[in-house]
């Protein structure tokens, strides 16, 4: 038999006990359980190679005052600041946090979800990869406290906290046009996993250019693996009419643009205008200072934590919805023609 076919009922039958007794054993409630009974259950589990349903076991009775956080990629400045705000809010309300980094890998995310659920966390805050909808849906169906950040799973209705990405790109495009740029390109990380902010920022760019009557060059829109962005930039500059300005879809993309400019001797703010999504620590001190579209990261993190803790306490006044936050333009020299 395979692991998937073994049920708690079969374990109970093999051990000669009730299903509730096996359940008590799995949840380590041994107060009224004899040693012989425990041995029979343990033997049945081993012989049948029974693998308990971690999700089902987590939907239970005990409070641990612990919140699990699974972040898609902790290297993003956005993620670090949001997590800090979540941790602060949870700490202030008497909850501990366990933080896991999925590296944008669904399999790693699944492993961490199972680990956190087995530790009986009271709720989850997720930056979902989109590759584990079946687990997320199971939790939602059982009303397990859960909040998404920066990502939406369209098939599900879950409280989700994220930027108004269409508006963010519209602001960036408008700012570059006001400063005399017309051939604007947008670069972001890979689009293969349909990650919400990346898709929405590309959509926002296309709408912003169309609404202003500017030509949309398909080759000016690139979603690539970070390691391939340098090659993508070289291809853009080999065009007969290369872009005169760039929007970086996130901070990791920004770093690749800055490296390219340095290696190729391109002067930011002269030969290439630049606006990046997300404020970065070095934006004000870089030469020239970098124009950014900032997200209210700490406010977003606090709201995500507050939404989740209200669910944990059973204090929920309205159905789940998408909570959008307005972007803020920080205009600096990288987007002004000199």
Average pLDDT rounded to a whole number, residues 181-190: 94
Computed over every residue of the chain, the mean pLDDT equals 91
Res 199 pLDDT > 60? yes
Q: If DSSP codes are grouped into helix, strand and coil, which group holds residue 236?
A: helix
Cα–Cα distance measured from residue 48 to residue 45, given in angstroms and rounded to the nearest whole number: 5
Pair 121, 134: CB distance under 8 Å: no
What string of DSSP letters covers 13-62? HHHTS-HHHHHHHHTT--TT--HHHHHHHHHHHHHHT----HHHHHSSS-
Domains 3-52 and 165-295+329-335 share a fold: no
| CATH 3.40.50.150 is held by the domain 165-295+329-335 | no
Average pLDDT rounded to a whole number, residues 24-44: 83
Burial class (CB in 10 A: 0-12, 13-18, 19+), 331: middle
DSSP 8-state secondary structure symbol assigned to residue 226: G
Tens of pLDDT along 155-164? 899 999 999 9
Average pLDDT rounded to a whole number, residues 15-35: 81
R_g over Cα of the chain: 25
Q: What dotted CATH number matches 3-52?
A: 1.10.260.40
- Largest Cα–Cα separation, the chain: 83
Going from N- to C-terminal start, the domains of the chain cover 3-52, 66-163+298-325, 165-295+329-335
Structure-model confidence comparison of residues 314 and 23, the more confident one:
314
What are the structure tokens assigned to 312, written together? 């944990």
Res 20 pLDDT > 80? no
Q: If DSSP codes are grouped into helix, strand and coil, which group holds residue 325?
A: strand
CA 261 to chain centre: 29
Length of the chain: 338
Kindly give the residue spans of alpha helices, DSSP state H, lying in the chain.
8-15, 19-26, 35-48, 54-58, 77-92, 106-118, 133-141, 165-178, 196-211, 229-237, 251-264, 297-313
Pair 55, 110: CB distance under 8 Å: no
DSSP 8-state secondary structure symbol assigned to residue 285: T
Res 78 pLDDT > 80? yes
- Residue 130 is predicted with a pLDDT of 86
Res 61 pLDDT > 60? no
Burial class (CB in 10 A: 0-12, 13-18, 19+), 59: middle
What would the 3-class secondary structure string for 239-277 be?
CCCCCCEEEECCHHHHHHHHHHHHHHCCCECCCEEEEEE
In sequence order, which residues have a C-beta less than 8 Å from that of residue 296 and are 6 or more positions away?
325, 326, 328
| CATH 3.90.650.10 is held by the domain 66-163+298-325 | no
Least confident of 26-30, 81-85, 179-183: 26-30
Percent of the chain with pLDDT over 70: 94
């Amino acid at each position: 038999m395979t692991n998937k076919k073994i049920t708690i009922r079969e374990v109970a039958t093999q051990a000669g006990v009730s299903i509730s007794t096996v359940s008590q054993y799995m949840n380590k409630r041994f107060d009224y359980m004899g040693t012989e009974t425990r041995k029979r259950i343990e033997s049945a589990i081993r012989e049948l190679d029974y693998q308990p349903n971690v999700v089902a076991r987590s939907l239970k009775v005990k409070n641990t005052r612990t919140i699990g956080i699974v972040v898609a990629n902790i290297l993003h400045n956005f993620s670090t600041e949001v997590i800090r705000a979540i941790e602060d809010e949870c700490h202030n309300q008497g909850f501990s946090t366990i933080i896991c980094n999925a590296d944008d890998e669904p399999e790693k995310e699944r492993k961490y979800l199972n680990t956190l659920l087995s530790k009986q966390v009271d709720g989850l805050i997720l930056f979902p990869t989109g590759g584990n909808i079946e687990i997320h849906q199971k939790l939602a169906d059982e009303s397990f406290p859960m909040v998404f950040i920066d990502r939406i799973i369209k098939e599900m209705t879950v409280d989700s906290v994220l930027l108004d990405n269409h508006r963010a790109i519209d602001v960036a495009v408008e700012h570059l046009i006001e400063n005399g740029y017309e051939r604007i390109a947008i670069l972001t990380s890979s689009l293969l996993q349909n990650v919400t902010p990346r898709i929405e920022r590309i959509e926002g760019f296309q709408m912003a250019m169309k609404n202003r009557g500017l030509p949309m060059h398909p080759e000016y829109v690139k979603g690539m693996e970070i390691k391939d962005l340098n090659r993508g930039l070289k291809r853009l500059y080999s065009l007969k009419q290369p872009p005169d300005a760039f929007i970086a879809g996130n901070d990791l993309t920004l770093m690749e643009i800055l490296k390219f400019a340095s290696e190729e001797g391109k002067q930011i703010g002269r030969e290439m205008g630049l606006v990046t999504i997300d404020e970065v620590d070095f934006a004000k001190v870089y030469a020239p200072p970098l124009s950014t579209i900032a997200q209210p990261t700490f406010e977003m993190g606090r709201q995500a934590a507050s939404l989740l803790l209200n669910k944990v306490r059973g204090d929920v006044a309205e159905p789940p919805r998408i909570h959008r936050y307005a972007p803020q333009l920080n205009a600096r020299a990288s987007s002004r023609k000199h």
